[in-house]
Structure 1
Amino acid sequence: MRFEISPTDPNLDTALRIRVVGLPPGERVTVRAAQRDLRGARWRSTTAFTADRDGTVDLARDAPVEGSYDGVDPMGLIWSMRPLDALSFDGPVDVRHPTELDLTASAPGVPDATATVRRRRIPAGLVRTEVREHGLVGVMYHPAGRSGLGAVLMLAGAEAGIHEDDAALLAAHGYAVLALALAGVPGRPPTLQDIPLEYAHRAIDHLRSLPFVDPGRLVVTGGSKGGEAALLIGATNPAVTGVVSIVGSGVLIAGISQDVMTGSFLEIMRTPVANWTVGGRPLPYVPTVVTAQLEKLVAEGAPVPLRLAFEPGLSSSVVAEATIPVERINGPVLLLSGECDASSGPAFHQFAADRLAAHGRPHEHVVYPGAGHQIAAPPYAPTTVSVLPIAGVTFDYGGEPAATAKARADVWRRTLEFLSASG
């Protein structure tokens, strides 16, 4: 009995073909997958299969008869992993380390089969550059020795910081990708409060000036708060030729007055601050609202769906002023939402979709059935944990693990297709 796995040297966003061969026909085999995350926590999944008449189990063909996921899914072993240790979110991580996926197959009467696959977060053949020009803070990746590259400006969400590994994975598909820090790192404000929109425009100017970039091809993408920001930046800069907003919003929502990991959730929700400024003046925003229901959940220590603070603001008089003029985006727009998102659900993207439709602008709004908030890149990662501690409470991001995993893979596919179609 042995594993056959291809490709043998994959990136983190590469789907794997996993087979177990050399079994007695009809034999039951238990397959376990294990890995550690960047902070050392262990994750594991366990499934059982029945070998076919040739003594083979093929995860791309066979559904498990028992275990951590149902149905045929070649990457089910990975997304269905659950943590064995308490999860940590403190301190820096080194994204240069690959994820080591350890596989074990056990069947009666034969020695166990084992295999390890090193899945790279940072693909080979890329040039990494720390960007500090013009007051910018970010990390860029692009394929070595290439020119005329389409450019991508990648933005993080409310967690702020730099999504360096996501940028590298995207760059490996043939793009110059700048993961830009809006906040939360040295040299930038600590939170998403009063961020000058001019800062993002300087980043676009920088990208377009690079000798290996085609200045006529520039897409802005982001998830959650980053998706909202992507729509705003695209609507205010004619050099942007397309926008991908993942679980974002077509209306500007209030900024964040404290660190989302260490601050007080209720204080953040009760403190009205602007996310963005233009010429030093704050842009209008939909306020967050602390309702009695929200206070009750916090007091009970129950998981909090963030939409309970967001949705009441949609009835405020400022919505019209806070709606992003997405019809000004100089290119197509891709809006990607999770049906069961407990944070900024599809209704927030629908503001943008309706406005784009009313102006006859090219766009698509995809709503993934059963999926939650965590559908942004990269694909093929565990999706079993949707309740996480943030700002002194636990956030419920919503969605079913299998649906969120399926959506995350499709979000990545659609993003790559969108970039390819942009020229």
Structure 2
Amino acid sequence: MTSQVRLRLLPSARCLYDDPIHVKVAGLKSRQLVVLKAQSIDDKGVLFNSSAVYRADGNGEIDLERDPSLRGSYTGVEPMGLLWSLRADTMHTKFHKSHAEKPHFVKFSVLEEEGLGTALAEITNERQLLADGVSRLYVKTGNIRGVLFTPPGEGPFPAVLDLYTFGGGLSERRACLLANRGFVVLTVALYGHDDLPKKVQELHLDYFEEAIEFLRNAPKVCGNRVGVISLSKSGDLALSIATYLSHVAATVWINGCNANVALPLYYRKRQILAALMFDISRIVTTESGALNIKDGINNPMAEENKDTLIPIEQAMGRFLFVAAADDLNWDSCAFVNQMVKRLKLHGKDNFESIFYPASGHYLEPPYGPYCPSSFHGVVGKPTLWGGEPRSHAAAEIHLWRKIQEFFKMHLISDAAVTKAML
């Protein structure tokens, strides 16, 4: 490596996963063309890469907040482009980073644009999922299998139940990142983890009722009510939790459905919702081999499916509906419009909606690799998720701030009301 070339990550090479960094290069020749490259290995050992060609200014410097990428994994001025454009060599591969105690390490390199691509400078960005002082407690009590994250300090803090997705196993990423921002968060596995069944034929709200009670009684929790955050299939679970269970003040629904999907839902040993199913004849196989399943789900508004619709007008808390306009898993925007119409017909105004143009299904915490397609646990094959990478990345940044604002507004204010009543 050439010692005179300096690659810096500001304010520090060590940061939180959802914090931006400022990438700067100095010591190059005037107007020199170089390749900036990023590499990272996920929890499954898969290598992800991104690269972009930049031209130094007259002083031999490059500033990713000022200078455009000329070609590569992205073009234009994209300060965090090297992170969200990380891709695996194998198609239909999703980036897996779910263990809170394992940082996301990204190696940044400056390479010569011509010749053999000799490395001129390198630096590693350590992106922590778990902030200093945040506690992680594995929960195995009663039927609950999950992880509880608690911020440092005396608190009390607002509490959130994180359902993440319907997939088997347990993902800690979003939950611990919320805890870093001042929430007590319990993320739970639904199946395929610890001693839970590897597969399920039905779901029971009793499990989530137990989880809510555990969370409400956890140390440092303020108020009497909790928030719920979801994504995809867990979106309809979140709606049912908010509708049928007590103590839910705020629910974030991201790219879900307004009906109970795939599995019948039970509560106290009685089925309360039938399952909305799919019609495989409407699923399209694309040239890449991935499926486009957007039109595969049956119409929840059809008369024959009315027993799958969730009566969200009965919910006492607030809703934040989030839909990606290019969601190829299903038509999230249509489901939001149907829910809004239903609530308004019942005289309810306890909701707000956000639509993100050119964004795909997996809206997650920001600065992670964009995923255009991957294996679908329910379908059993790779599927397209939709979205344009740049727009999707911008949506994740905006949504992450909005989620925190929404929960703080409705959970902390609820705590204040509860305290006043006491």
Task: Name the TM-score, length of structure 1 as normaliser.
Answer: 0.86
* Alpha-carbon distance, 1:409 to partner: 2.2
Letter matched to residue 321 of structure 1? D
Maintained 8 Å contact 1:286/1:313: no
Alpha-carbon spacing, 1:313–1:113, altered in 2? closer, same or farther (3 Å): same
The 1-side partners of 2:124 and 2:75 are apart by 24
* Alpha-carbon distance, 1:54 to partner: 3.7
Alpha-carbon spacing, 1:14–1:91, altered in 2? closer, same or farther (3 Å): closer
Tell me which moved more, 184-193 or 62-71.
184-193
* Alpha-carbon distance, 1:242 to partner: 0.3
Please name the residue that 1:142 is paired with.
150
Letter matched to residue 288 of structure 1? M
1:21 maps onto 2:9 in alignment = no
After superposition, the CA RMSD in angstroms is 2.7
Structure 2: 5+ residue stretches without partners:
413-422
Alpha-carbon spacing, 1:304–1:137, altered in 2? closer, same or farther (3 Å): same
The 2-side partners of 1:392 and 1:207 are apart by 33
The 1-side partners of 2:300 and 2:92 are apart by 34
Tell me which moved more, 139-148 or 345-354.
345-354
Please name the residue that 1:360 is paired with.
348
* Alpha-carbon distance, 1:203 to partner: 1.1
Letter matched to residue 209 of structure 2? H
Residue by residue, what CA displacement relative to the aligned partner does 1:337-394 show, whole Å, maximum 9, x if unpaired? 111111132212332222233323232221111111111x222111154243655422
1:74 maps onto 2:42 in alignment = no
The 2-side partners of 1:92 and 1:99 are apart by 7
Tell me which moved more, 142-151 or 284-293.
284-293
Maintained 8 Å contact 2:232/2:254: yes
Maintained 8 Å contact 2:18/2:366: yes
1:321 maps onto 2:310 in alignment = no
The 2-side partners of 1:293 and 1:30 are apart by 44
* Alpha-carbon distance, 1:281 to partner: 2.0
* Alpha-carbon distance, 1:68 to partner: 0.9
Letter matched to residue 330 of structure 1? M
* Alpha-carbon distance, 1:395 to partner: 1.3
The 1-side partners of 2:361 and 2:408 are apart by 25
* Alpha-carbon distance, 1:246 to partner: 0.9
The 2-side partners of 1:360 and 1:392 are apart by 39
Q: How many residues align?
A: 400
Please name the residue that 2:318 is paired with.
332
2:11 aligned residue (7, 19, 30): 7
2:278 aligned residue (289, 298, 302): 289
Alpha-carbon spacing, 1:42–1:58, altered in 2? closer, same or farther (3 Å): same
* Alpha-carbon distance, 1:112 to partner: 0.2
Q: What is the percent sequence identity of the aligned residues?
A: 28
Please name the residue that 1:188 is paired with.
196
2:238 aligned residue (225, 230, 247): 230
Secondary structure of the structure 2 residue equivalent to 1:411: helix
Residue by residue, what CA displacement relative to the aligned partner does 1:219-266 show, whole Å, maximum 9, x if unpaired? 1001111122111111222311100011112221222xxxxxxxxxxx
Structure 1: 5+ residue stretches without partners:
256-273
1:280 aligned residue (246, 253, 269): 269
Maintained 8 Å contact 1:242/1:330: no
Matches within 5 A, 1:14-413: 14-85=19-90, 94-107=99-112, 112-255=120-263, 274=264, 276-294=265-283, 297=285, 302-310=289-297, 312-345=298-331, 346-358=333-345, 359-375=347-363, 377-388=364-375, 390=377, 391-413=379-401
Letter matched to residue 279 of structure 2? V
Alpha-carbon spacing, 1:409–1:160, altered in 2? closer, same or farther (3 Å): farther
Alpha-carbon spacing, 1:208–1:108, altered in 2? closer, same or farther (3 Å): closer
Task: Name the TM-score, length of structure 2 as normaliser.
Answer: 0.87
